[in-house]
Every structure is written in C-alpha cells, then in structure tokens.
Amino acid sequence: MTSRVLILTTSHDKLGETGKPTGFHWQELTDPYWALRDAGYAVEIASVAGGQPPADPGSDDGEGERPASVQRFMDDTTAMTALSNTRPAAHATPGDYDAIYLPGGHGTMWDLPHTKAVTDLIAKAWEAGAVVAAVCHGPAALTGVELSDGTPLVKGKRVNSFTDAEERAVGLEEVVPFLLESKLREQGAKFEGNGENFGAHVARDGRLLTGQNPASAAPLAQAIMEALKAKQSEPA
C-alpha cells in the first residue's frame, strides 16, 4: 500500500511586530514534496487555517534564480492548485498518514506551537507510529507537542533546527517569539547541529527526523523515505 505523507505549513503571515511579510519557506516545501512524489508516495498539503498559506517572499529568488524544485512546483498546475486549497489542520485525521512533515519559514514560530489542532495531530500521529519530520523553523511545532503521558515529544531525543547562531546571523533574534534551539534544549531535547551556519544537517532519532535549514530539506526528504521504508518492513 502506498504510504501517505502530510505536509503541514504555517498560516501566519507577519514577522512579529515588524509588519513585514513571512510564511512558509518555498524550498523547504518543494524539495521534499517532489522527492516524495517522484518516489511514488501520496502527498497532501495542509495548513493551520486551510486554503492558501502565505509564502515567505524572502524564500523566492525570482524567475531564473529559483531552486529547481521551487520552479517546478510553480510551473505545475496540480501542485499550485493543491497549495491554494490546503486542508485545515483541524480536518486532518492522524491515522490517515504514515508521516507528517513540517517545512519551516519564520511564520511557523507564531502559530504551529500554539495551535491545538496541530500539536494534537502530531502527538496522535506519533503515538500511532507515524514518522514525524520538520526542518529549519518547522520544529517549532514540536515545542508544543506533549504525549499522552504529559512528556514533551522531544524530551531525550536527538533533534536539530535553525540554530540560535543562525537566527542571530539573519538578525531576527529579537523579532522571533523565542529562540528555537534554546526552546528545544529547555524541553530536554539532545540538540545537535553541524556547527556551521547554514550548512546541511539532519538529526534522526528513530521516527523523529529534523533538519537545520533550507540546505537540509533535500537530505531530510531522503531520511523520511528511509524511515518510511523501515516502518513498512516492521512486522505487523
């Protein structure tokens, strides 16, 4: 049976009190989308509020400069239609998916951790045996996830995300509501980065997969597929 993957994006479109636009990060959405689709997985896109989620304009390099996966997505009518008609997180059923993937973009920092429909979906999917993956600021969602025994999902697990050093490097450490690496550490996560700003890194702890930044989206997609194959090979 074909594995089903839910890509869940932010619906938040303002960068704190700056008034500047934000949203999801294009390449962090499109690299895994095409890797999974091309490998034969069924991929659905959802967002916090449903409908058309906002894209971070800073993640669109413009015609002729976009990463190949982004341009391919924008040129694909079916993909763009799916993006403009996303399912609200509250209407997603945890048991329907073998994996949930959370792309980043700064918008995630404001809505994903505080949206009960999102955190409940992740917790229930995790406890049902799903793969949970997130990249860059996408792991912000994980900071709001508690399992049924009250334990933070990330406690004691190896995780990665956009680092505090990277946030300072882009000058947004005073804009974001919290520093993601620090928050994950506070919840007992075993944070690991590659020690280099904006270099690719993926942390894997069983079914929990997290990537550091946009450069990590493609390798994270490969890790998701490896985890799904491992899950399929498990005895029923």
When the pLDDT of each residue in the chain is averaged and rounded to a whole number, the result is: 97
Instruction: Based on the residue annotation, tell me whether 167 is a catalytic residue of this protein.
Output: yes
| Selected catalytic residue, list 136, 166, 181, 201 | 136
For the segment 106-110, the average pLDDT, to the nearest whole number, is 98
Whether 136 is a known active-site residue: answer yes
Scanning 16-147, the segments in alpha helix (DSSP H) are 26-38, 68-75, 77-84, 108-111, 116-127
Instruction: Indicate the SS3 state at residue 25.
Output: coil
What pLDDT score does 178 carry?
98
Selecting among 28, 166, 167, 181, the annotated active-site residue is: 167
Instruction: Report pLDDT digits (tens) over 9-67.
Output: 999 999 999 999 999 999 999 999 999 999 999 999 999 999 999 999 999 999 999 99
Calpha distance 148→156 (Å, rounded): 16
Domain that holds residue 119: 4-232
As a whole-number percent, the residues of the chain with pLDDT over 70 amount to 99
Active site residue 137: yes
Greater confidence, 1 or 38? 38
Catalytic residue among 137, 166, 181, 201: 137
CATH number of the domain encompassing residue 129: 3.40.50.880
Number of domains in the chain: 1
Of the pLDDT bands very low, low, confident and very high (cuts 50, 70, 90), residue 231 is confident
Give the model confidence (pLDDT) of 65-79 as tens digits: 999 999 999 999 999
Residue 2 pLDDT exceeds 90 = no
Q: Tell me, what's the pLDDT at 236?
A: 59
What residue type is 209 in one-letter code?
L
For 134-180, the pLDDT digits (tens) are 999 999 999 999 999 999 999 999 999 999 999 999 999 999 999 99
pTM: 0.97
Where are the extended beta strands (E) located within 125-236? 131-135, 158-159, 190-191, 202-205, 208-211
